Chain A
Amino acid sequence: MLSSVQNPRILLLHHCRRSKPLHHHHRLRRHHYPKSIHASPLPHPISASLPTSQIQTIQKSILSREKTTRQFAEEFLTRLRTTEPHVKSFLHVSETVLNEADEIDRKIDRNEDVGPLAGVLVAVKDNICTADMPSTAGSKILENYRPPFDATAVRKLKESGAIIVGKTNLDEFGMGSTTEGSAYQVTSNPWNLECVPGGSSGGSAAAVSARQCVVSLGSDTGGSVRQPASFCGVVGLKPTYGRVSRYGLVAYASSLDVIGCFGSSVADAGILLQSICGHDKLDATSSKREVNDFTSQFISKDYFESQPLKGLRVGVISETLGDGVNQEVVSSIRGAISHLEELGCTVTEVSLPSFSLGLPAYYVLASSESSSNLSRYDGVRYGNQTVSDELSSLYGGSRANGFGPEVKRRILMGTYALSAGYYDAYYKRAQQVRTVVQKSFKAALDLHDILISPAAPSAAYKIGEKKNDPLAMYAGDIMTVNVNLAGLPALVLPCGFVKDGSASLPVGFQMIGAAFDEEKLLRVGHIFEQTLQGYSFIPPLIADEFKSSSVKIYQLG
Chain B
Amino acid sequence: MALTLFRGIHTRPLLPYSSAFSARKHVIFCSMQSTQTETSMKTKQQAPSNFTETARAKAVEKVLKDYEAIIGIETHVQLSTTTKAFCGCAYTYGSQPNSCVCPVCMGLPGALPVLNSKVIKCAVMLGLALNCKLSLSSKFDRKQYFYPDLPKGYQISQFDIPIATNGFIDVDLPLEFGGGHRRFGITRVHMEEDAGKLLHTGSGPYSQVDLNRAGVPLLEIVSEPDMRTGIEAAEYAAELQRVVRYLGVGNGNMQEGSLRCDVNVSIRPIGQLEFGTKVEIKNLNSFSAMSRAIDFEIARQAELYNQGQADEIVQETRLWEEGSQKTFTMRKKEGLADYRYFPEPDLPEVVLTEEYVNGIRESLPELPEMKRRRYEEMGLTMQDILFLANDVNVAEFFDATIAKVPDIKLAANWIMGDIAAYMKNEKLSINEIKLSPQELSELITSIKSGTISGKIGKEILIELMKKGGTVKGLIEEKDLVQIVDPVEIEKIIDKVIANNPKQLEQYRGGKTKLQGFFAGQVMKESKGKANPGLVNKILIEKLNAKS
Interface residues of A (CB under 8 A from B): 128-129, 135, 137, 142, 145, 147-149, 151, 246-251, 253-255, 281-285, 368-369, 372, 375-378, 380-382, 389, 391, 395, 415, 418-420, 423, 427
Q: Which residue of B lies closest to A128 (CB)?
A: B110
In the complex, residue of chain B having the shortest beta-carbon distance to the beta carbon of A135 = B109
Please name all residues of chain A whose beta carbon is closer than 8 Å to the beta carbon of B113 when the two chains form the complex. 284
A24 to B222, CA, bound (A): 74
Contact indicator A376/B152 (Cβ below 8 Å): yes
Tell me the minimal C-beta distance from B111 to chain A in angstroms: 7
Whether B114 and A372, one on each chain, are in contact in the complex, defined by CB atoms closer than 8 angstroms, is no
Q: Are A376 and B103 in contact (CB under 8 A)?
A: no
Identify which of A142, A254, A281, A419 contacts B109 (C-beta below 8 A). Answer: A142
Contacts known (A246-B112, A284-B112); A378 close to B146, Cβ less than 8 A? yes
The smallest beta-carbon distance between B480 and chain A, in angstroms, is: 63
Query: In the complex the two chains form, is A380's CB within 8 Å of B209's CB?
Result: yes
Give the most central of A151, A284, A389, A427: most B CB within 10 Å.
Answer: A284
Given contacts A284-B112, A376-B153, A415-B340, contact A381 B106 (CB under 8 A): yes
How far is the CB of A522 from the nearest CB of chain B, in Å?
27
Residues of A within 8 A of B146 (CB): 375, 378, 395
Chain B residues within 8 Å of A420, by CB: 338, 340
B144 within 8 A of A: yes
Assembly CA distance A378 to B205 (angstroms): 19
Least CB distance from A284 to B in Å reads: 5
Query: Among B247-255, B342-350, B467-475, which stretch is in contact with chain A?
Result: B342-350
Say what secondary structure dominates the interface of chain B. loop
Q: Which single residue of chain B is at the shortest CB-CB distance from A382?
A: B108
**Complex partner residue of B153 from A142, A247, A375, A427, CB under 8 angstroms:** A375
Instruction: Please state if A375 and B346 are interface contacts (CB–CB under 8 Å).
Output: no
CB distance from B208 to the nearest CB of A (A): 12
In the complex, which residues of chain A have a beta carbon less than 8 angstroms from the beta carbon of B144? 372, 375, 418
Which residues of chain A have C-beta atoms less than 8 A from B110's C-beta? Answer: 128-129, 135, 147, 149, 151, 246-251
B-side contacts of A389, CB under 8 Å: 205
Residues of A within 8 A of B148 (CB): 380, 391
Contact check, B114 vs A284: say whether CB atoms are below 8 A apart. yes
Cα of A281 to Cα of B88 in the assembled complex, Å: 11
Q: List 14 A-B contacts (CB under 8 A).
A: A129-B109, A151-B110, A253-B345, A255-B345, A284-B112, A284-B347, A369-B345, A381-B106, A382-B109, A418-B341, A419-B338, A420-B338, A423-B342, A427-B342
* Neighbour of B115 across the interface among A129, A282, A284, CB < 8 A: A284
Please name the 4 residue pairs, one residue from A and one from B, whose CB atoms are nearest each other, closest first: A375-B153, A255-B345, A254-B345, A418-B340
- Render B136-150 as a binary contact track against A, CB cut-off 8 A, 1 for contact: 000000101010100
Q: Provide the bound-state CA to CA distance between A188 and B144, in Å.
A: 38
Count of inter-chain pairs, beta carbons less than 8 A: 97
The smallest C-beta distance from A110 to any residue of chain B, in angstroms, reads 35
Per DSSP, chain A at the interface is loop
Indicate whether B422 reaches chain A with its CB closer than 8 angstroms: no
Given A368-B342, A427-B342, A375:B112 Cβ within 8 A: no
**CA A419 – CA B109 in complex, angstroms?**
24
| A285 neighbours in B (Cβ, 8 Å) | 112, 345-348
Decide if B520 is an interface residue (CB 8 Å cutoff).
no
Q: Is there contact, CB below 8 Å, between B114 and A283?
A: yes
Given known contacts A129-B109, A378-B146, A380-B209, A148 and B103 CB-to-CB distance under 8 angstroms: yes
Are A247's CB and B108's CB within 8 A?
A: no
Given A151-B110, A246-B112: 17 more A-B contacts, CB < 8 Å: A149-B103, A149-B110, A249-B110, A255-B345, A284-B115, A372-B142, A372-B154, A375-B146, A375-B152, A381-B106, A381-B107, A382-B109, A391-B148, A419-B338, A423-B341, A423-B342, A427-B342
Chain B's nearest CB lies how many Å from the CB of A424? 11
Q: A372 to B153, Cβ gap below 8 A?
A: yes
Shortest Cβ distance from residue A321 to the other chain B in the assembled complex, whole angstroms: 33
* A476 and B148 alpha carbons, distance in the complex (Å): 39
Q: How far is the CB of B198 from chain A (nearest CB, A)?
A: 10
Residue-wise, chain B 346-363 has the 8 Å CB interface mask toward A (1 for contact) of: 111000000000000000
* A247 and B111 form a contact (CB under 8 A): yes
Q: Name B104's closest neighbour in chain A (CB-CB).
A: A282
Contact A250 B340 (CB under 8 A): no
The answer for the CA separation of A221 and B338 in the assembled complex, in Å, is: 28
**Residues of B92-128 whose CB lies within 8 A of A:** 103, 106-115
Q: Which chain B residue shows the least CB distance to A281? A: B114
Please give the distance in Å from A367's CB to the nearest CB on chain B: 12
The CA-CA distance from A250 to B107 in the complex, in Å, is 11
CA distance A248 to B109 in the complex (A): 7
Interchain CA distance A448-B9 in the complex, whole Å: 61
A137 to B153, CA, bound (A): 19
CA distance A249 to B112 in the complex (A): 9
Q: Which of A137, A148, A372 has the most B CB atoms < 10 Å from its CB?
A: A372
Using A369-B345, A415-B340, A427-B342 as known contacts, say yes or no to A137 and B152 having CB atoms under 8 A apart: no
Return A83 CB to nearest CB of chain B, in Å: 29
The answer to whether B114 and A282 touch across the interface, beta carbons within 8 angstroms, is yes
Nearest Cβ distance between residue A258 and chain B, in whole angstroms?
A: 13
Within the complex, the shortest CB–CB distance from B406 to chain A, in Å, comes to: 53
Chain A residues near B107 (CB, 8 Å)?
Answer: 376, 381
In the complex, chain A residues whose CB is within 8 Å of the CB of B342: 368-369, 372, 418, 423, 427
User: For residue B148, which residue of chain A has the nearest CB?
Assistant: A380
Beyond A284-B347, A420-B338, is A376–B115 a contact (Cβ under 8 Å)?
no
Say whether A145 contacts B109, CB under 8 Å. yes
What is the CA–CA distance of A375 and B339 in the complex, to the nearest angstrom? 13
Which residues of the partner chain B approach A281 to less than 8 Å between Cβ atoms? 114
How far in angstroms is the closest Cβ of chain A from B210? Answer: 12
B346 near A284 with CB under 8 A, answer: yes
Q: Check if B112 sits within 8 Å of A376, measured CB to CB.
A: no
CB pair A250–B112 under 8 Å, yes or no, is no
Which residues of chain B are within 8 angstroms of A254 by Cβ–Cβ distance?
Answer: 345-346
Which chain B residue has the least Cβ–Cβ distance from A137? B109
B437 part of interface (Cβ distance < 8 Å)? no
Decide if B151 is an interface residue (CB 8 Å cutoff). Answer: yes
A128, A145, A368, A378, most chain B CB atoms within 10 A:
A378
What residues of B have a CB within 8 angstroms of the CB of A282 in the complex?
112, 114
Tell me how far the C-beta of A506 lies from the nearest C-beta in chain B, rounded to whole angstroms.
32
Docked complex: B510-524 residues within 8 A CB-CB of A: none
Whole-angstrom distance between the alpha carbons of A142 and B113 in the complex? Answer: 21
A201 CB to closest chain B CB (Å) equals 16
Q: What chain B residues lie within 8 Å of A377 (beta carbons)? A: 109
Q: Which residues of B (168-206) have their CB < 8 Å from a CB of A? A: 205
In the bound complex, residues from chain B placing their C-beta under 8 Å from that of A147 are: 103, 108-110
**What CA separation (Å) do A531 and B208 show in the bound complex?**
65
Verify A376–B142 contact, CB threshold 8 A.
Answer: no
Closest to B339 in A: A420
Q: Which residues of A contact B112 (CB under 8 A)?
A: 246-247, 251, 282-285
CB distance from A414 to the nearest CB of B (A): 9
Considering the complex, give the chain B residue whose CB is closest to the CB of A391.
B148
Cβ-defined contact, B108 with A148, below 8 A = yes
Interfacial chain B residues near A423, Cβ < 8 Å = 340-342
* Distance A145 CA – B108 CA, assembled complex (angstroms): 11
Closest A residue by C-beta to B142: A372
Inter-chain contacts of A247 with B (CB < 8 A): 110-112
Bound-complex Cα distance A246 to B111 (A): 9
Min C-beta distance of A196 to chain B, whole Å: 25
Q: In the bound complex, how far is the Cα of B145 from the Cα of A375, in angstroms? A: 9
Tell me if B114 and A376 are in contact (CB < 8 A). Answer: no
State A369–B146 Cα separation when bound (angstroms): 16
Nearest CB of A to B290, in Å: 31
Report how far A53 CA is from B209 CA in the complex, Å. 52
Q: How far is the CA of A249 from the CA of B342 in the complex (A)?
A: 21
Residues of A within 8 A of B151 (CB): 376, 381
- A378: chain B residues at CB < 8 Å are 146, 153
Q: In the complex the two chains form, what is the Cα distance from A420 to B336 in whole Å?
A: 10
- Give Cα A415–Cα B205 distance, bound, in whole angstroms: 31
Minimum distance in angstroms from A85 CB to a CB of chain B:
30
Q: Within the assembled complex, what's the spacing in Å between the Cα atoms of A377 and B108? A: 9
